[in-house]
Homo-oligomer: A and B are copies of this chain.
């Protein structure tokens, strides 16, 4: 029970980090790009908010449907494994033996394992799902929760780089504040993201900042090129 809780909360943090670091990066780069082409902050904010709305729906709903598809896939494979265990028990036993043959266990031991496992059909099918097909049972509520968390985090992340443009009328001036603010936030998020995945935190934070800066710089140059300014 405690373990279960731990998994759920760390998955939520992972979703927040996914949504927020993308939300910080793409609207930031779009706003920076437009600042290279137009001087009105209102248009930058309009484009930025249209992007945030579009991106959060695409990521959130996309994530939700991916989760649902995964759950459906697991259920249909589970049903098929139960049928196969009933209909072709010898073939399924051979598949269990195959798993252990790959790890160099002797044939008599493989046979013993397959025979003993076949006594409990539920556990047998569970074994096939995890070790033959490599499928873990997905949590049904996860998909919805994950979609909402990623979508909301994308919105929160996206508001940060846009906020200077909301306050300052002149886009090129707002750009400086947006860069400063967003790169600091990207650094903080990169730091926590790396800590969570057990990677070196400083170099991880640096990588996230570099992606954001590269995306913004490239968008800025491209927008200048198109409008010929």
Q: Which residues of A contact B (CB under 8 A)?
A: 21-22, 25-26, 28-30, 33-34, 37-38, 42-43, 45-47, 49-51, 53-55, 57-58, 61-62, 65, 69, 72-73, 76, 100, 102-106, 109, 112-113, 116-117, 119-120, 123-124, 126-127, 131, 134, 136, 197-199, 204, 207, 211-212, 214-216, 218-220, 222-223, 226-227
Contact = CB atoms under 8 A, between A and B. Distances in A.
8 cross-chain pairs, A with B, having the tightest CB-CB distances, nearest first: A33-B50, A29-B54, A50-B219, A57-B215, A54-B215, A25-B58, A54-B219, A104-B123
B30 A72 contact: no
A26 B54 contact: yes
Counting every copy of the chain, the complex holds: 2
Contacts of A197: 69, 73
A219 B214 CA distance: 26
Contacts of A28: 54
A43 B47 CA distance: 10
A54 B72 contact: no
A207 B63 CA distance: 12
Contacts of A51: 26, 30, 33, 51, 219
13 contacts: A26-B54, A29-B57, A30-B47, A34-B46, A53-B222, A54-B215, A61-B211, A61-B215, A103-B117, A103-B124, A104-B120, A109-B113, A112-B112
Nearest to A214: B57
Contacts of A102: 123
A197 B69 CA distance: 8
A58 B26 contact: yes
A29 B53 contact: yes
Contacts of A222: 49-50, 53
Contacts of A204: 69
A169 B146 CA distance: 40
A189 to B, nearest CB: 12
Nearest to A24: B58
